[in-house]
């Protein structure tokens, strides 16, 4: 049954079915999603009308301002996962993905080959897929390093950078250098930072001529009107974005202190999650699940466990007590 939770984050319904519902409500710390998302205002949507193309372009412009990118280089898609899968058929030739990272990266482009970051030179001339910040270890690559990797792609290979967790580290994003003259593509997520993963909104950033092919694959009306309206308003809410960034940094530091005091050393992460390494990560996963706290184990890394941010004071207290009851 643990295979369900090593596949990806989430699976709260499966956890309830497997471990049961006790006296306490479940806390899902398995996803790396902001647990205190953007407050969606109550409003009515005209569900009888098709989404408006001008509204979609407005969403892309609002997102581009947040990314510090050229709006012509931004294409909205129904979730980052879809954006990654859309690359199949648009990019050919050999491809590699840096590991460890998302399972999806290995399934892109007909199946890319895994490659450790220390051996990245072996991918010169080929397409290279990586995440920055990386998941689950939080590895960060400086934009200068990424530009060096881009130069190594040659005339055929592309550099594909998954920036799903980049909202909390905007200075490391390569969004601002994407243009028609570079074989460079980035993928951005809305749901993780804004805490609204169920909205299914993401973005592909790339040369405008390349995005024209992406738009043709998407077809007309790729997003619901509600998604467009909520996403546009959220990206324009600068006060909330700044406050959320500061709060996430503070909560991540608090989680670090709690983990260390409980005898667990964080070995990586970003402001939305922490990765710990312990000899009995499976046992820790099971113990936390016994306290109705779901975390993220890894089948190929049995000593790793990823823990997301608790949503509030009560959840922090429950996690602290569960960690202390070893």
CATH 3.90.1150.10 positions along the chain are 3-32+239-324
Residue 201 · residue 56 · CB < 8 Å: no
pLDDT (0 to 100) of residue 96: 96
Pick the CATH number of 53-236 from 3.90.1150.10, 3.40.50.300, 3.40.50.410, 3.40.640.10: 3.40.640.10
Instruction: Please state which CATH number belongs to domain 3-32+239-324.
Output: 3.90.1150.10
Q: 72: which DSSP letter?
A: G
At 138-151, the pLDDT tens digits run 999 999 999 999 98
For residue 199, give Cα distances in angstroms to 22, 172, 180, 208, 226: 29, 26, 30, 25, 9
Under the banding of pLDDT at 50, 70 and 90, the label for residue 23 is confident
* Whether 149 contacts 159, CB under 8 Å: yes
Question: Measured between alpha carbons, how far is 190 from 59 in angstroms, rounded to an integer?
Answer: 11
List helix spans (H) across 68-152: 80-85, 103-107, 143-151
Structural Rg of the chain based on CA atoms? 20
pLDDT in tens, 159-195: 999 999 999 999 999 999 999 999 999 999 999 999 9
Q: Which of the four pLDDT bands, split at 50, 70 and 90, describes residue 2?
A: low
pLDDT at 1 over 60: no
Q: Which pTM was predicted?
A: 0.95
Report the pLDDT averaged over residues 222-228.
96
User: Phi then psi for 99, rounded to 5 degrees?
Assistant: -120, 155
Edge-to-edge strand ranges of the sheet holding 113-116? 74-77, 202-205, 184-189, 159-162, 127-131, 95-99, 113-116
Domain with CATH 3.40.640.10 in the chain: 53-236
The overall average pLDDT reported for the chain is 94
Q: What is the DSSP secondary structure assignment for residue 168, as one 8-state letter?
A: G
């Amino acid at each position: 049954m643990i295979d369900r939770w090593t596949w990806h984050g989430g699976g709260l319904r499966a956890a309830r079915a497997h471990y049961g519902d006790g006296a306490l409500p479940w806390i899902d710390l398995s996803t790396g999603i902001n647990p205190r998302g953007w407050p969606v205002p109550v409003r009515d949507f005209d569900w009888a009308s098709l989404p408006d193309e001008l509204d979609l372009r407005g969403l892309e412009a609002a997102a581009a301002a947040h990314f510090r990118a050229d709006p012509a280089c931004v294409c909205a898609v129904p979730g980052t996962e879809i954006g990654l899968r859309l690359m199949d058929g648009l990019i050919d030739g050999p491809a590699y993905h840096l590991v460890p990272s998302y399972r999806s990266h290995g399934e892109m482009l007909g199946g890319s080959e895994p490659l450790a970051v220390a051996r990245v030179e072996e991918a010169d001339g080929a397409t290279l897929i990586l995440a920055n910040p990386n998941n689950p270890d939080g590895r960060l690559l400086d934009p200068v390093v990424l530009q060096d990797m881009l130069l190594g792609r040659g005339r055929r290979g592309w550099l594909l950078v998954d920036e799903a967790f980049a909202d909390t580290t905007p200075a490391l994003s390569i969004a601002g250098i994407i243009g028609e003259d570079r074989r460079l593509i980035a993928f951005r997520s809305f749901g993780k930072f804004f805490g609204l993963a169920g909205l299914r909104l993401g973005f592909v950033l790339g040369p405008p001529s390349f995005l024209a092919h992406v738009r043709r694959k998407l077809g007309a009306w790729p997003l619901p009107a509600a998604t467009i309206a909520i996403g546009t308003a959220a990206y324009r809410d600068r006060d909330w974005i700044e406050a959320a960034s500061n709060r996430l940094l503070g909560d991540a530091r608090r989680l670090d202190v709690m983990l260390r005091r409980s005898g667990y050393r964080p070995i990586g992460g970003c402001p939305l999650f922490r990765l710990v390494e312990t000899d009995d990560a499976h046992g820790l996963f099971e113990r936390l699940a016994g306290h109705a706290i779901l975390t993220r184990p890894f089948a190929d890394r049995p000593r790793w466990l990823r823990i997301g941010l608790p949503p509030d004071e009560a959840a922090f207290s429950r996690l602290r007590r569960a960690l202390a009851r070893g």
